[in-house]
Chains A and B, each alone.
Chain A
Amino acid sequence: GENVEQHPSTLSVQEGDSAVIKCTYSDSASNYFPWYKQELGKRPQLIIDIRSNVGEKKDQRIAVTLNKTAKHFSLHITETQPEDSAVYFCAASQWQKVTFGTGTKLQVIP
C-alpha cells in the first residue's frame, strides 16, 4: 500500500519568514496530493492541492510543488503569520483511497 512520510514533525519560524514542509510517497499510482491545516480542536481543512499532471500550484502565500519522478511534494508558506500556527498534513491519494502523513506542527513566533 501507499506510504507517506512527512518532515519535519515540528517547525518553528519567526513571523515573516518562510516555512517548508516536505512529504514523500511510495505508490506511483497516487495522483492527487492535498494539504490540510488543522487548528487545535478543529477538523482538518484543505488549504491547497495538486494533481499529478501539475508541477506547481500557488494560492497567495501558499504554494505546493510536486516532483513525480522523485515522488515527493512540498508545501511552502511565505510571509508567515501567527494565524498560520497549526498542524499541517500532507496526503497522497488514488481515487478515494487516501494516505496521510503524520503531520507537522508549525509554530510562528511573533
Chain B
Amino acid sequence: EAQVTQNPRYLITVTGKKLTVTCSQNMNHEYMSWYRQDPGLGLRQIYYSMNVEVTDKGDVPEGYKVSRKEKRNFPLILESPSPNQTSLYFCASSLRGKETQYFGPGTRLLVL
C-alpha cells in the first residue's frame, strides 16, 4: 500500500531532550516536507527536500534540523526541544512534476 508513515505518533518529552521524528514513504517520491500545525495558524512548512542531500528551509525552520540521506526517509530532529515546539507535525511527500502532496498520519508532540 502506497503510504507515508511517521513515528512515533504521540510523544511527550521534556525541555532540552533531543528527539527525532521519523518519516518514510514507499512511493519513490523525490519531494518531502515537514509541517507543523497549530490552532488558528494552519500548517506551516518547516523544511522541505527536493532530493537526496538537498534540503531547504520553509517558513519556520528555527529549532529544527532535517536530513535526507535516503530517498524514502526524511527525519525531523529537535536537538533541544522547547515548550513552544509543542504541536502536531505532518510529513508529506510528492512526485517530481506532480505537486500533489500525500500526508503522513501526524505526530502529536508535547514538550514539558
Contacts and interface: CB of A to CB of B under 8 A. Distances in A.
Nearest to A94: B99
Contacts, number: 53
Contact of A99 (B45, B100, B106): B45
A102 B59 contact: no
Nearest to B91: A43
20 contacts: A32-B99, A34-B99, A43-B106, A44-B43, A46-B100, A49-B100, A89-B43, A91-B43, A96-B33, A96-B50, A96-B56, A97-B45, A97-B48, A97-B58, A98-B48, A98-B58, A100-B42, A102-B40, A102-B42, A103-B42
Interface in B70-112: 90, 94, 99-101, 103-106
A96 to B, nearest CB: 5
Interface of B: 31, 33, 35, 40-45, 48-50, 56, 58-59, 90, 94, 99-101, 103-106
A34 B99 CA distance: 9
